[in-house]
Amino acid sequence: MTDKIDTKTFKRSLQHSGNYHRKGFGHEAEVASVLNTEYQSNLIQQIRDNNYQLTKGDVTIRLAEAFGFCWGVERAVAMAYETRQHFPQEQIWITNEIIHNPSVNQRLREMEVKFIAVENGKKDFSIVDSGDVVILPAFGASVSEMQILNDKGCTIVDTTCPWVSKVWNSVEKHKKRNYTSIIHGKYKHEETVATSSFADKYLVVLNMEQAQYVCDYILNGGEKEEFLAKFKNAYSEGFDPNKDLETIGIANQTTMLKSETEAIGKLFERIMMQKYSPVKLNEHFMSFNTICDATQERQDAMFELVEEDLSLMVVIGGFNSSNTTHLQEIAIDYKIPSYHIDSASRIGPGNRIEHKPLNKDIEVTENWLPEGSIVVGVTSGASTPDKVVAEAIEKIFELKAAKVIA
Ligand code: SF4
């Protein structure tokens, strides 16, 4: 069980081993030019230079002022490309999608980077041999996965974003003081799985409603069985809400809605103050600022964009991308018709779009582009290359120009 491992000592020894790499291999310049060709777009640069908007015919595109690839993702993708270049003959594996973007993951497959298969919800590491190279993705990997790979004698290339590592460090601090980590996130998300593997005791809360429930329990007690059923799979083994909520620390999945993470942190702080008095707060509560700048900037830009008079929004990013979903939530809160797609191929043929409404399965909407002049807001998640955004914009221009609109 990962919670029995001395994670700090293990990470330290891993970092000092010759088989572990968390920087590139000196091929930055070559890789940068390849990445530029594969993922950047002249159209997007043109729109950026034109104050984030472009009009063609009936369509005005309004781009969010911060969108797309964040530096953590750029860094991870570049490291994966460098790894291929540095180890041309070796078998290279990746423990999960490098980032939540289908086109980038497909590109890696074409470069013969293999994904470790998942059988019945478990990764099958038996296929990985000693001497193979294994890439850990931007959102990290659990301690037990790192341990398996290290024990096998693999070369590990760790692309975990430093912002994610910062959260892990917070969790280590909670553990040192025997505090329970309250993690704002999705318990199944790879990043949260990795983060919780560093904790001794943890509870994952998805949203404000769940946080409020936990806070009511802290203040007033409640039915333990009901609590454990409500948070099934979202707490550490042996977690007891009657004992393990007396000292808590706050952590987060870096891609959650920033305002919600902050509000949840403040709620827990207030409740612990109420329960134990302001003088004793530090004996029961810890919190560090671990909200990633990139997530924050993309969400802030989205809040600015939705204030404009938009006919509709197109939000582009992997369907399993948490930060993209949160951008979509903002559009919904502002009651703007909004379409979440993962690639331009979801648009057309004709005036139709295949998209994923929030918390629902993919569906098709016909006649999604209205007649006449329209203003289309566009943004994309932190794992989406500019090229994918450009392709979607071009499709919208084409559709309106071709007058396929009913
Ligand atoms: S969104 Fe933030 S935490 Fe995630 S990879 Fe990008 S910079 Fe890192």
Beta bridge partners of 20: 156
In this prediction, residues 1-20 reach a mean pLDDT of 81
Q: How far is the CA of 4 from the centre of ligand 1 (A)?
A: 28
Query: How far is it, in rounded angstroms, from Cα 333 to Cα 329?
Result: 6
In this prediction, residues 147-174 reach a mean pLDDT of 95
Q: What is the pLDDT of residue 336?
A: 97
* Cβ partners under 8 Å of residue 161, min gap 6: 72, 73, 75, 76, 138, 139, 140, 254, 292
The chain-wide mean pLDDT, for the chain, equals 94
Whether residue 290 is predicted with pLDDT greater than 90 in this model: the reply is no
Q: What percent of the chain has pLDDT over 90?
A: 84
Evaluate whether 98 touches 139 at the Cβ level (below 8 Å): no
Looking at residue 129, the DSSP 8-state letter turns out to be P
Based on C-alpha coordinates, what's the Rg of the chain?
23
Weakest mean pLDDT among 143-147, 291-295, 346-350? 291-295
Whether residue 350 is predicted with pLDDT greater than 80 in this model: the reply is yes
57 CA to centre of own chain: 36
Q: What are the helix (H) ranges across 61-161?
A: 71-86, 102-110, 143-152
* Torsion angle (degrees, nearest 10) of CA 270, 273, 275, 281: 140
Q: What is the pLDDT of residue 209?
A: 98
Pocket of ligand 1 (CB under 6 A): 70-73, 138, 161, 163-164, 254-255, 292, 294-295, 323, 382
pTM: 0.87
In this prediction, residues 132-149 reach a mean pLDDT of 95
Q: What is each CA distance from 96 to 20, 105, 124, 268, 300, in whole angstroms?
A: 18, 9, 12, 33, 29
Q: What are the helix (H) ranges across 207-317?
A: 208-220, 224-230, 258-276, 293-305
Query: Would you place residue 2 in the very low, low, confident or very high pLDDT band (cuts 50, 70, 90)?
Result: very low
CB neighbours (10 Å) of residue 281?
16
Q: How far is the CA of 241 from the centre of ligand 1 (A)?
A: 31
Whether residue 405 is predicted with pLDDT greater than 80 in this model: the reply is no
Q: How far is the CA of 306 from the centre of ligand 1 (A)?
A: 23
For 314, phi then psi, to 5°, come to -120, 125
Tokens 């979801």, located at residue: 346
Tokens 């943004």, located at residue: 379
* Cβ partners under 8 Å of residue 13, min gap 6: none
Query: How far is it, in rounded angstroms, from Cα 364 to Cα 347?
Result: 10
Which of 255, 321, 325 is the best mutation target for the ligand 1 pocket, counting ligand atoms within 8 Å of the beta carbon and taking the most?
A: 255
Tokens 């939530």, located at residue: 329
Q: What is the pLDDT of residue 404?
A: 63
In this prediction, residues 288-307 reach a mean pLDDT of 91
Residue tagged active-site, from 97, 191, 329, 391: 191
Query: How far is it, in rounded angstroms, from Cα 163 to Cα 139?
Result: 9
CB neighbours (10 Å) of residue 150?
17
Query: Would you place residue 157 in the very low, low, confident or very high pLDDT band (cuts 50, 70, 90)?
Result: very high
Query: How far is it, in rounded angstroms, from Cα 245 to Cα 247?
Result: 6
CA-wise closest residue to 307 among 329, 335, 328: 335
Looking at residue 347, the DSSP 8-state letter turns out to be B
Task: Kindly state the tokens that stand for 295.
Answer: 């997530």
Query: How far is it, in rounded angstroms, from Cα 141 to Cα 46?
Result: 38
Whether residue 135 is predicted with pLDDT greater than 80 in this model: the reply is yes
Ligand 1 atom having least distance to the Cα of 161: 8
pLDDT in tens, 181-193: 999 999 999 999 9
Weakest mean pLDDT among 242-251, 290-299, 358-367? 290-299
Q: What is the pLDDT of residue 121?
A: 76
In this prediction, residues 56-71 reach a mean pLDDT of 96
Q: How far is the CA of 283 from the centre of ligand 1 (A)?
A: 31
Q: What is the pLDDT of residue 1?
A: 44
**Hey, whose CA ends up nearest to atom 5 of ligand 1?**
72
CA-wise closest residue to 180 among 56, 285, 317: 285
Q: What is the pLDDT of residue 368?
A: 96
Quote helix, strand, coil % in the chain, to nearest 5: 45, 20, 35
Whether residue 257 is predicted with pLDDT greater than 50 in this model: the reply is yes
For 235, phi then psi, to 5°, come to -140, 165
283 is catalytic: no
Please tell me whether residue 286 adopts helix, strand or coil conformation: strand
Ligand 1 atom having least distance to the Cα of 292: 2
Q: What is each CA distance from 254 to 164, 178, 185, in whole angstroms?
A: 7, 23, 8
